[in-house]
Each structure stands twice: as C-alpha cells, then as structure tokens.
Structure 1
Amino acid sequence: MSDIDWSIGTWTNPPAAVSVADDGMRVTAVEESDAWRTTSYGFVHDTEHALLAPFAQDTAMEVSFHLDFSAQFDQAGIFVKVDDSTWTKAGVERSDDQDSLGAVVTRGVSDWSLAPVPEWHGRLVTIRASRSGDALTVRARVDDEPWRLVRVAPLDPDAEVGAGPMCCAPSRDDLTVHFTAWRTGAADASLHPDD
C-alpha cells in the first residue's frame, strides 16, 4: 500500500477544523453532520465530512484512525461516493453506548448494518474498501489483528468514484478524530481468504 497525501483530497463538506502533522490528520466535525437517506427516519442528511480522492477500478483504499468515541452516533471510517444518492460509508459508529462496526449502503435510500466491537475502544482501527468487478468489498481490523469482512455491496465497474476518510458527529460539536493513515494499493485478490 502507498500513502495518499492528505492535501490531494476534496471535502464533501468542510469540517469545523482540520490539522495535519507528522502523525496524521485531526478532523473536528460540525455538530449534526451525518450521511443518511430516508429509510426509517424519513430525513436526508448529506453533511458528512469526507475527504475524497479518485478511487479507480481494481484498487483498494484504507483509512486508519484512533477509536475514542463517547457520544451517540460518533462515527469515522471510509466514504465511497458515486453521487449524492449512491454511496457507502463504513467504519465504527457509537450507537446505544457501544462502539459498533458497520456500514451504510445507499442506492437511493440507505440501509444500515452494525456489529458491536466494544473491545476495539481506544485502539487503532483500519477500514479497507476494495473495488473489483461489480463489487465493493469492505473489511476492517483493529491494530494488527486479522481482517474481518464487513460488507459486499454492488458498485458499477464503470462509475467514477471518490473515496477517503470520513467522520460525522450527529449529536455533539466537539468530536475530533485522529486519522493516522490513508493508503491505496491493489484490490483484494478474492472475496474469501482460501480462494
């Protein structure tokens, strides 16, 4: 994997503050920032902070960050965007007082999946999105533990796609996420490790 320079990305929505140093990028989210379309809640939120760079077919992108959430719906991870109604966000979100690994896949309307990972709190999380064929494959891990499969979602192989680090703070004004890495490389060779 090769590092992506923080300066080449373009924000979908500017954060409250951004600082870049030798140890990564710190992003402070605007209160009520979020990404969601319609399902169950009835609203459309498109105020996420996602730093996007081109995400080519047959490549993968990884984002790493320190997990230190405390408020309802604090979230960080990777955002993969085709257009305003076709996108995926994947990472860790604090929901009902626990950190959970999950993804929101949006194709006109959003869906949401979560799996609790309380043991990840205070550790380094990496989210990996891999683009191959007609699929986006999302994996995640904490520290140097094995990768976990999070989601396989459809993604048009001919679409122009942007992807990169993302954070949102739907319920507070002082969430700062410390991203430590943004990398790109070859797409995963297969969906399953034994293939």
Structure 2
Amino acid sequence: MTQKAISWNAGIWTNPPVLSLQEGQFLQVEASEGSDYWEKTLYGFERSSGHSLLAVWERDSAIEVTFQLDSFTELYDQAGIMLQQGPGKWIKAGIELNDGIPQLAVVVTDGYSDWSLSPVPEWVGDHVTIRASRIQDAVVIRARTDHHGWRTVRVARFPYESGQQAGPFICAPTRAGFQVTFTRWISTEPDSDIHTDPPLEK
C-alpha cells in the first residue's frame, strides 16, 4: 500500500476535548484539565478521561501521527498516538513532559499500566512523528522529528487479530489550557523488520 492521509473527520473522539478546530490541513486541540489514561499500577486509580480521535486500524498498515512540540510546559502535558483494542487494553505513545523535560513516553496497558520514558530535550520546537506498526504479536513504536531520524522507542505485546483502533491523543492531567496542533495522520506501509527503519515520508 502507499501512504494515505486520514481525514480528521474519519475519527471519533473517545471523550470530546475542550476545543477541536480544523485549520487547513492541521487540527488544533485543547485538552480538559485532569484528562488522563491510566490503570491501577502504583497509583491505584483508573483514568479514561483522555481525548483520543480513533479510526479503524487495519492490521496490514502502519499508523503515523505528527504534532508540534511547542506548547508542553506543565507536568504530564502529553500528546501522541493511541492504539486501542478495548477498555483496559491500549497503548499510548508520544511526548510527555516530566521533570521539566519532554520525554518519549509509552504506556502499555492490559488491565494494568506500565510506563517508560526517554528524554528528548533537543526535540523542542520541532514536529514530532510517532509511528506504530505490528509485527506478529507485537507492535513496534518509533519516533522521529523533521531533523532527527527514526528512533525505536518500544516493542510491546499487542496480539489482537481484529477490532483495533488508532489515532491522535492528548491529555492534560494537571492543568487547563493545554493545546496541541496535530499536522499529520496517515496510514502507510508496515515495518518490514525491527532493524529496518521506515522511509522518511512527509
């Protein structure tokens, strides 16, 4: 298959954000204060109040979401891509502000959530692309910017055969007024191998 743009109108919000405004090819979104996704681990609480714009994710395609990294200023500000099988079975991957630094963050959830972080302060002000592609029973999460090549962020179990959805997400656990501009949402060729980078498509 070739690269195919996904219309912002093709997705359905899991929870409507404060603002969702299409400006040309871009989508500006504002998250509700306190919005988040998490299941039990460490904190004990369960959160499913985040905002995800989801559409059907075909197994033989990779999904990429791109957004501007220029508005993340408060603890846990986050945006990226959500992969969802159903309640309590999802993966969110993107940028999250932690300890004052933007981090590549992935939360993998199957009844319980885990959390991994990798600092990317040099990415501030750039356009960040998060990519998800399935290989056998796993999903490979990669990330890049317009000025930095692909980085493999996580290989996680995602063994489902059907019913998956994917798309951009945003959360603001600690504050009001957090806005992100999403610039790209595409379906494209899946990864051929864990050690082979995808092409740098724009």
TM-score normalised by the chain length of structure 1: 0.97
Please give the alpha-carbon distance, in whole angstroms, between the structure 1 residues aligned to 2:173 and 2:7.
27
Per the alignment, residue 186 of structure 2 pairs with 183
Per the alignment, residue 73 of structure 1 pairs with 76
Please give the alpha-carbon distance, in whole angstroms, between the structure 2 residues aligned to 1:187 and 1:110.
26
Please point out which of 86, 89, 96 is paired with 2:92. Answer: 89
Aligned sequence identity (%)? 46
- Taking only aligned residues, the RMSD between alpha carbons, in angstroms, comes to 1.1
Unaligned stretches of 5+ residues in structure 1: none
Give the total of aligned pairs.
194
Q: Does 1:16 align with 2:18?
A: yes
Per the alignment, residue 161 of structure 1 pairs with 164
Unaligned stretches of 5+ residues in structure 2: 198-202
Per the alignment, residue 45 of structure 1 pairs with 47
Say if 1:59 and 1:132, in contact at 8 Å, map to a contact too.
no
Please give the alpha-carbon distance, in whole angstroms, between the structure 1 residues aligned to 2:80 and 2:165.
14
Please point out which of 124, 127, 132 is paired with 1:129. Answer: 132
Please give the alpha-carbon distance, in whole angstroms, between the structure 2 residues aligned to 1:13 and 1:45.
12
Please point out which of 54, 61, 71 is paired with 2:63. Answer: 61
Paired letter, 2:9: S
Per the alignment, residue 196 of structure 2 pairs with 193
Say if 2:85 and 2:160, in contact at 8 Å, map to a contact too.
no
Q: Secondary structure at the match of 1:189?
A: coil
Shift of 1:47: 0.6
**Structure 1, residues 16-43: CA drift from partner, whole Å, max 9, x if none?**
0110011400000000000000111110
The runs of at least 4 aligned residues of structure 1 exceeding 4 Å deviation read: none
Paired letter, 2:175: R
Shift of 1:144: 4.2
